[in-house]
Each structure stands twice: as C-alpha cells, then as structure tokens.
Structure 1
Amino acid sequence: HGYTAHQLFKIIRNDITQQPLVQVALWTLGRNSSLTSLYVM
C-alpha cells in the first residue's frame, strides 16, 4: 500500500489537472495517513 500511495503522490505532485486521479490519490493517502508524513517533507 505504501508503494502505491507514494507513486500516486509523485504523479499528482507533478500534474493536478486530472481530477479523478487526484481524488483517488488523496483518498489513498488519507487511508494511509500514517504514511502521509513521509510526503510532506
């Protein structure tokens, strides 16, 4: 799960124009909230 969340974060960090992808990515990051602190740095 962590790998998928990380990859989704990298994708939306570079391109937030794909609204459905952004929604899925944010949902995934929310579900893995313990991993979210790794991406904020």
Structure 2
Amino acid sequence: MPHTEGFCFGMSDGSDIDDDLALVANARRPAGEGLAAFYTSWW
C-alpha cells in the first residue's frame, strides 16, 4: 500500500504480526468448512 499519513495511520513496529496471522488462520478455518467469518473494527 502507498505511504499514508493522518488520523489512525502511522508506522508499524511489527509487534502485531503474530496476532494478525492468528486472526487470519482462525477466520480461514470455518471458511474451509463452508461457513462465513465476519470482522468488524472496534472504531
């Protein structure tokens, strides 16, 4: 993605990558069983 500045944007230090990958793995599991996974942001 292109560099973006402003509200809710900034540098990532990579500390969330393990949690992000776990979220994707957990969302893909039910999809493989024909189910749907939904994500909504907290803001």
Indicate whether the TM-score tops 0.5: no
The normalised TM-score by structure 2 is 0.41
The structure with the largest helix share of the pair is 1
Task: From the CA coordinates, give the structure whose radius of gyration is larger.
Answer: 2
Instruction: State the TM-score, normalizing by the size of structure 1.
Output: 0.42
Structure with higher RCO (Cα < 8 A, 6+ apart)? 1
